[in-house]
Amino acid sequence: MKYLVIGSGGREHALAWRLLADGSAREVYAAPGNGGIDEPFRVSIAVDDFKGIEAFCAEKKIDMVVVGPEAPLVEGLADFLETKKIPVFGPSARAAMLEGSKLFAKTIMEKYGVPTGAHADFTSKEKLVDYVSGLKQYPIVIKLDGLAAGKGVALPENLEQARAFIDENVSDGARVFVEEYFDGEEASVLGISDGETVLPFVAAQDHKRAFDGDKGPNTGGMGAYAPAPVMTGALLEKVRETVLQPTIDGMRAEGIPFKGILYAGLIISGGSINVLEYNVRFGDPEAQVILPLLEGKLGDYIQASVAGRLGGMKLSFKKEHAITVVMASGGYPGSYPKGKVITGLDRAGDDIIVFHAGTRREGDNVLTSGGRVLNVTALGATLEEARQKVYDSISSISFEGGFYRKDIAYRALGR
């Protein structure tokens, strides 16, 4: 089969790699792709160029389109391709509102009994400021309603921090809500659904803060590992029963069947589970640790999701551990330079997978072109072994100003 993966990040490189590595596809193209994709298979088409994507699919006789990022899903790429009779893996625009509007997701959770925090929503900046000024207990959670590339959430620990976030990020008339804060450990559980059945993947844990010890600003993710030990087998089944399946059933009841990847960002405290947010696609960098652990062919599950045939299927995973560490450009998640030469990629070990994200090729050189540049990934019989491998290898790769967290998986290793 021929696949077209939409997107340019580490997640999309991981999807393309997996589809080829497990025999799901004989050709995988990426639009627009990055420096990790071989030149003949990089397609210079933007993720929002729906007509260009349609034309390329016709030219290459693409059998399946896999949409990586959330923005084209919210904008209706899956709907557009379906009208053109092009098979596509990813939810419709209406279903993608589970990520496109945090308030929509909150409404679905509350209506169908999914555990989540209480909230108050606002469209008046003045009323929002009055509300947070009257709160007696901090920290709180403030969320912007729309897409924000993983950076539309603040956890202010006092009124001063809350006011600073609001002044910088909230304009009058913008939809924003304040949510109950839960103390606990976060985990990411992704499920693949065909609109009725949902099958959970192994749980992962992301590291959002820029610096060691979970310090610094929020990012798109600085590293991840799987399986996350905070998510026991019993808790994973509880997530399927009380979070994923009720949401899929609820969306179908609303007349908005959800096909694709439903990603639940969870907070775990003891035996209790609460949903922090939904995403409607593979996580980045969670995909970079989940996909290497998956057994069987990813394409089989994608095909079954699109065709409504997941019932009776099961997901299975290697009895190993995976970890990925993000190498980022100096200044990220703020402004950062581009065009820095990356060296040492040829020195990564044979058992290391380097997923490219913000890279491009210029002649024989690989250059930086984004904030998150590389995802250096390793598997091991234990998490300690995988972590040792990845940090032994990452030190041989460098580019001017590059940095990475040196404590990925510290929670699991400290348990």
Cα angle vertex 2, ends 326, 374, to 5°? 10
How many CA atoms within 13 Å lie on the side-chain side of 356?
Answer: 23
Instruction: Indicate if the pLDDT at residue 243 is higher than 70.
Output: yes
pLDDT at 168: 87
Q: What is the overall mean pLDDT for the chain?
A: 95
- pLDDT tens for 128-175 read 999 999 898 899 999 888 776 555 788 899 999 999 999 988 887 888
pLDDT at 357: 98
All structural domains of the chain:
2-95 (3.40.50.20), 119-179 (3.30.1490.20), 185-307 (3.30.470.20), 321-413 (3.90.600.10)
pLDDT at 150: 55
- pLDDT tens for 180-200 read 888 899 999 999 999 999 999
- pLDDT tens for 42-79 read 999 999 999 999 999 999 999 999 999 999 999 999 99
